[in-house]
Amino acid sequence: NAGVTQTPKFRVLKTGQSMTLLCAQDMNHEYMYWYRQDPGMGLRLIHYSVGEGTTAKGEVPDGYNVSRLKKQNFLLGLESAAPSQTSVYFCASSTGSGVTDTQYFGPGTRLTVL
């Protein structure tokens, strides 16, 4: 049982390049989330999904797209990377969306955009 895994762990991009971050979970969770972590700001929600085939915007969605084609996978895409997207990206999943549900986090992807 690997929990939540993220690929890749590190990436360096040039401005304007594109990339996709992959999140996979093996806990059969319905809900999945993408966050970014910046110094002094905690984690902020980018996009989330309430089930296979559904996605929704979070707090800071601009410049990102997501897809949830399979229940266990949640992809985060950057179509044209900008230096402001340099951050650590975390994926999370949970069984439900209720206020008592625990989110389980992956190990993170450190992205640098030059």
Binding interface with another protein (CB under 8 A)? 4, 31, 33, 40-45, 48, 50, 56, 58-59, 90, 97-108
Q: What is the dihedral of CA 48, 51, 56, 61, to 10 degrees?
A: 30
Q: Are residues 108 and 44 in contact, defined by beta-carbon separation less than 8 angstroms?
A: no
Phi-psi sector, 3: left (phi>0), alpha (psi -120 to 50), beta: left
Q: How far is the CB of 34 from another protein (least distance, A)?
A: 11
Closer residue to another protein, CB minimum distance, 63 or 104: 104
Q: How far is the CB of 90 from another protein (least distance, A)?
A: 7
Q: How far is the CB of 109 from another protein (least distance, A)?
A: 10
Closer residue to another protein, CB minimum distance, 31 or 113: 31
Residue 83, helix vs strand vs coil: helix
Closer residue to another protein, CB minimum distance, 58 or 63: 58
- Residue carrying structure tokens 């993220």: 6
